[in-house]
Structure formats: C-alpha cells, structure tokens
Amino acid sequence: MDLLNTLVDKGLRRELPTREEALAVLATSDDDLLDVVAAAGKVRRQWFGRRVKLNYLVNLKSGLCPEDCSYCSQRLGSKAEILKYTWLKPDEASQAAAAGIAGGAKRVCLVASGRGPTDRDVDRVARTIEAVKEQNEGVEVCACLGLLSDGQAERLKGAGADAYNHNLNTSEATYGDITKTHTYADRVDTVQKAHAAGLSACSGLIAGMGESDEDLVDVVYALRELDADSVPVNFLIPFEGTPLAKEWNLTPQRCLRILAMARFVCPDVEVRIAGGREVHLRSLQPLALNIANSIFLGDYLTSEGQAGKADLDMIADAGFEVEGADQVTLPQHRVDAAAGCGSHDAGAAGCGSHDADAAGCGSHGGGGCGPCGSGEPVADAPAGPNEARTDLVAVRRRGAGTDLAPNA
C-alpha cells in the first residue's frame, strides 16, 4: 500500500504524518491488518530493535478517589468491588516493587488514587522512592499521583524519581464527557510541570470509551506536541459498577490499528501496551509486540493481568528480548536532546496511566485474565466482535494491600 510505504518513510525520518494518513490507518481493512503491523514494525525496530521494556505497578493507595472519571474503578461513587486501602509504608512498597524487579522489570511505577498529592503526600512518596532505590539498585521509578501543584514535581525529582505519568486519556473536545471534576487543561498543565522539572514525561490515552477515530488522532497528536517520552495506550476495561461498564467497543484488530497509528505519529518514543491488553488483544498480544516496545508485567492496580511467566514466555516466543537494566530505552537523539535542555532524565521513559479502567501505570483499573486470585487465563469462549467478555475482567486480590504474594 502506498499509504504504508509513506508512513514507514516518515517514521524512519521522525516526520509527522498528516491527519488524513493517521485516520487512514484506523480505517484499514482486516485484509490489510498484517501489512499495517509489518509497516509499524519497521518503524519500531528502527528505534528500539527487538527489545521489550518491562514495567511494574505498585498501587500505593487504592480506591476512594474524589474524582468522577467515568472509566475508573476507584472513582467517586464506584460500585466496583476493588481493594480499598490507605498508603503503603515505604518498606511495604519497596517489597512489592522487588517482586516485579525480580521478574525482569526495569521500571517501577508508584501510583496513588486521588485528585492530586498534598505536600505531606509528596513527602511520603519521596521516602518511598528513596526506599525503593536504596533496596533495588539501578531501578527506574515513575510517580503517578494525579494533578501536581507548583514545586511538587521538583521535590519528586529531588527524591530520585525518574519520570512522572499523567494521561490525557482522550481528545480535548470530548474530555468533558468523561470527567467533570477537572479539565483537559489541568492534565496538560501537570505533564508540562513534570517536563519542566526534568522528569521524563509519560502521558497516554484510553481507547474504547466510545470515542471517534478523530478523537483518537487528536489525542495522539497532542501527546506528540507535548513531547512525551512514553505513550501508554490503554484499552478500556469496562468494570461493573462504573458508568462505562457497557462500553465493549474494541476488537483485537481495532486495538492493533490504534497501536500502529500511535507508532506512526510517535515513531521514536516508548509506546506501551498498557491496561486491557489481555481483555481486548487476547490471542493477538504477540502481534502487538511488533508495534509497541513496552508492556506492564503481571497485575495492574485494581485488576489482575496475565501471569508474569506467561508475559515472559510470550516475549521470548515472539522472538523479542527483555530490555536489560543496563540498556537505555530511548534512541540516542532523544537522550542527547534531553541532556542538552535538562528537561528529561536520560534514558528515562514510560510509566502508565494514572487513571484508567483501561489500566496502565497508575490506572485505576486493569487488565484481568482469569478468576480472582488465580492468575491463570480463562479459556476464550466463543464470542462475536464487540461482545462483552466480563469473564476476562478479574479484580485484583493479591499483591500490594493484601497478604498474598504478587503476580510478577
């Protein structure tokens, strides 16, 4: 296809596609799907080889959020039967992080529900960051705490944080349809605060909330303009007990097209398959590794993910390799640019989403693949496109905030 050849050429040059080209990717047919994946794969390999970065979530404080984000299992008024607990102690968080690091994760994402941290909360998280880094040499830490006030990003940076995550989630035009208690502009402001403080900016989206192709293209273009180092792509987990519980709008093929569009628009950044990959990509997860260069290992914040060993087996079987702690995630030109302007931590990239029942780093929901506590996949039952797969949504009952071993 001439379209794909053009997009590959632009991706290898880091040139922005036109909006029409980005929309055309989302409109391709199933007959062309493998060609789309192969084309995006050429761009992915140019900048990231066959490496897959593993990230691990630690939910520092779960549930009881005062915000009304429609997609979130921890939202105000949520009836989702998730774990609810207050702040983990620094040593508890460090122990949880160690499980993911032992499983191969090079980045730990420390997440807390809420509108944003108080100064006391920032002090608490700073002590946690210091504990994680002291006990796990060489690990990268990303904080995901909601909207930041002036000076808070600098304090997190001073405590040793490498990155900060805050997702845009959807287009500016439709943001008010999913959240009323804060604005799209509030989110942009927090990403800019993190960036200005020298933290690697991580910001992504949630697909599957009923948005249009134009909305998806708008938010990905906005993420490129913000110069995020990491773009987590979340796929909505429609949790029972949330306003979007009936929004089962995604197919595996649709998810692959969305990932490909993100890769073409953001060719040289960390594109992460975040929450919802088990639920919506299902058996096509290995194909998605040809497009994205990063995933979460094990469970998410409030829901269970694929077993950690299954993640590692999938990566190896698909012919990829886990990125080592001694390897720099971002291409050299981005590292050099960050060092030159002081806006990023060299090599830092990625976290996840602060609030998505799509999951992701900081998502307030998550992927889920098996009965609660089992970690074992549920065999796919016959289902038509877009049919609800509630059997694949399992609330997390292990790991942080429990006495059971985590999935890593």
Give the catalytic positions in this structure: 65, 69, 72, 109, 142, 202, 272
DSSP state letters, 385-399: TT---GGG--B--SS
State the amino acid at position 293 in one-letter form.
N
SS3 129: helix
Instruction: Give kind and range of the element (H or E) at residue 94.
Output: helix 90-102
Residues 6+ apart with CB under 8 A from 298: 56, 57, 100, 103, 305, 306, 307, 308, 311, 399, 406, 407, 408
Contact, 303 vs 296, CB < 8 A? Answer: no
User: What is the dihedral sign for C-alpha 256, 260, 261, 267?
Assistant: positive
- The CA distance from 234 to 277, in Å, is 8
Residue 174 is given by DSSP the state G
Contact, 144 vs 301, CB < 8 A? Answer: no
Angle between helices 19-26 and 2-12 (to 10 degrees): 120
Task: Pull the structure tokens for residue 37.
Answer: 């994946």
Contact, 353 vs 167, CB < 8 A? Answer: yes
Residues 6+ apart with CB under 8 A from 39: 4, 5, 7, 8, 260
SS3 303: strand
